[in-house]
Amino acid sequence: MSFDFFSEDELRIEVESTAKQTQKLRQRLERLLSLREERKVSDPIFKEVLDEIANRYNSFVPKVNDLRKAVEAKLETMKEEDRELRRNLEGLEVRFTIGSIAEDQYKVNRASYMMRLQNIEEFDKLVTSSFTSINEDANKLSSALMQVRQTIPRELSAEPSATPSLGSLEPAEKPSSPIPSVRPVQIKPSPEKAATATPKGPQPAKVRICSRCGAENPDNSLYCYNCGAKI
């Protein structure tokens, strides 16, 4: 699956969804191990469910690595945009200070630059934090899977499949020097957005049903968390 042509919003949704899926997969393995410790699952069923989790993880890793590469490319592009925006913002401040542009034009342009810089920073923080979580959960999953296979009775065990690894997402480079006289702006939601942000009663959660396996997924999912098929 290629994510190269995904927009920032699409990548953000995919990264957040992937982090949740990886966490759920780790939690399933931990619950399965807990059932085994409590002697509430037989060895054959334990092995069967363990293989399901391992197969799900193995099929999940290539998608995560493709997503990581697309996010890294997007962050690199946004880093160049960040530099250009800060250069334009500095020029705007200087021109306004010496009286080359009117105050109204200055305020409009400055608000536009600051909003875009804020969006870039928020995207950077979100994807970096999400991939840190993904890598931590994936490392725990991989380590636990390898360890638990050694405890399965010989008559039930088979040749373990290789566990693929996840890459790591490096944080985007920050500009080396801040722009003087630039103050952050308070961005308030519009009345329309504020009105829609507080529904008057409990709203039913929207789900998307996978056409392949029938599993329920969050409404904004592009891939099924259970089988990995595109929805």
| List of residues 6+ apart from 224 with CB closer than 8 A | 210, 212, 213, 215, 217, 230, 231
175 touches 103 (CB < 8 A): no
pLDDT score of 150: 78
User: In this structure, what token pair is assigned to residue 112?
Assistant: 């536009």
For residue 227, the model assigns a pLDDT of 64
Highest mean pLDDT (candidates 39-48, 90-99, 157-166, 216-225): 90-99
Give the pLDDT band (50/70/90) at residue 82: very high
CA distance 162 to 148: 14
State both tokens at 149: 């296979």
Residue 14 pLDDT grade (very low, low, confident, very high; cuts 50, 70, 90): very high
Percentage of the chain beyond pLDDT 90 is 59
Per the confidence metrics, is the pTM higher than 0.75? Answer: no
Residue 186, SS3 per DSSP: coil
- The C-alpha atoms of residue 170 and residue 123 are separated, in whole angstroms, by 14
The amino acid sitting at 117 is L
The pLDDT value given to residue 179: 27
